[in-house]
Amino acid sequence: MNGFAIQFLHGLSMTVLVAAISGVLGTAVGLVGAASKLSAYRIPMWLAEVYTTVIRGVPELLVILLIYFGGTAAITLVIGRYVEISALSAGVIALTVIFGAYSTEIFRGAILSIPHGQWEAASSIGLKSWQIWWCCHID
């Protein structure tokens, strides 16, 4: 194998690694975001709304650059000495933030599409409120 093939395979492995890690973390962020958007409490609902609106409205490349360069500047300012964020960390964080915003809306829409009868059925068999929310949610 020549040098380019090795570099290509290394790039492919890093891409798969970043996608896998940020996919898992973004899904978790999306579940928390959907729960926040459907919450009865105004502050988490408002924060999740701002998060999804801003992140989905800003180009992805800008989010990546802000986290990579702005994160280094912010950590340096907080700690008081120069700290550089690695490209892998910045990529994972940026894609987690982006994927989390989109998956929040996907999960929210999926939860809201569950029929009212599912809520009643879960309640009639004696499930607790957190179990009912886990399986189906109603406004």
The answer to whether residues 122 and 132 touch, using CB atoms and an 8 Å cutoff, is: yes
Q: Where are the domains of the chain?
A: 17-106
- The reported pTM is 0.81
Tell me what the mean pLDDT of segment 5-9 comes to: 90
Q: DSSP letter string over 98-122?
A: HHHHHHHHHHHHHHHTS-HHHHHHH
Q: What is the pLDDT of residue 58?
A: 95
Q: What's the CATH architecture for 17-106?
A: Orthogonal Bundle (1.10)
Tell me what the mean pLDDT of segment 77-93 comes to: 91
Model confidence pLDDT, tens digit, residues 44-64? 999 999 999 999 999 999 999
